[in-house]
Amino acid sequence: MKKSIFLIILMVSCALSAVAKDLTYLSTEDFKKKVCYYDKSSTTQWKYLGDKPCLIDFSTTWCGWCKKLHPILEQIAEQYDGQIYVYTVDADKEPELAALFAVSGYPTVVLCPMTGSPQKVAGYNPLEFWQEAILQVFGIAKP
């Protein structure tokens, strides 16, 4: 009996450790602290605030392509852990952020390098596309 319980606990802990890294939800307030501070009443020049580049996923709960993209972004978060941040924004809950990047379709991912302007990619893309984009935009090779 004790062996069975031990095996079950071991299997569950192994399964949990294999789960992909969750995406970090980004609210408007978090965005202003972690990504770029802006004020609606003024035109603020883009200045990235993070200490590592980031991907920001703009999606909605009702979007099928967004649901298909999330596991890929979770893989990216795990593969590039410590090198980039991977954020997600619910565009229905944070319309001000979506408007800031002129997001008109979902999913849309914004790549924010340490220097230079953010780059926007609309639509679903596979893992290999994102690995190449991270190399091209951030200069970080596939782990």
- What would the 3-class secondary structure string for the chain be? CHHHHHHHHHHHHHHHHCCCCCCEECCHHHHHHHCCCCCCCCCCCCCCCCCCCEEEEEECCCCHHHHHHHHHHHHHHHHCCCCCEEEEEECCCCHHHHHHCCCCCCCEEEEECCCCCCEEEECCCCHHHHHHHHHHHHCCCCC
Residue 8 lies in a domain: no
Residue 27 lies in a domain: yes
- 9 in a domain, yes or no? no
Q: What is the CATH number of the domain that holds 122?
A: 3.40.30.10
Per residue of the chain (143 residues), give pLDDT as tens.
544 433 333 333 333 334 446 789 989 899 989 998 887 666 667 889 999 999 999 999 999 999 999 999 999 999 999 999 999 999 999 999 999 899 999 999 999 999 999 999 999 999 999 999 999 999 999 88
Residue 6 falls within a domain, yes or no?
no
77 occurs within a structural domain: yes
Give the pLDDT confidence score for residue 37 in this predicted structure: 83
State the residue range of the domain holding 111. 21-138
Catalytic residues: 63, 66
**82 located within any domain:** yes
Whole-prediction pTM: 0.81
For the chain, how many structural domains are there in total? Answer: 1
Asked, for residue 4, whether it belongs to a domain, the answer is: no
pLDDT at res. 143: 82
In a domain, 49, yes or no: yes
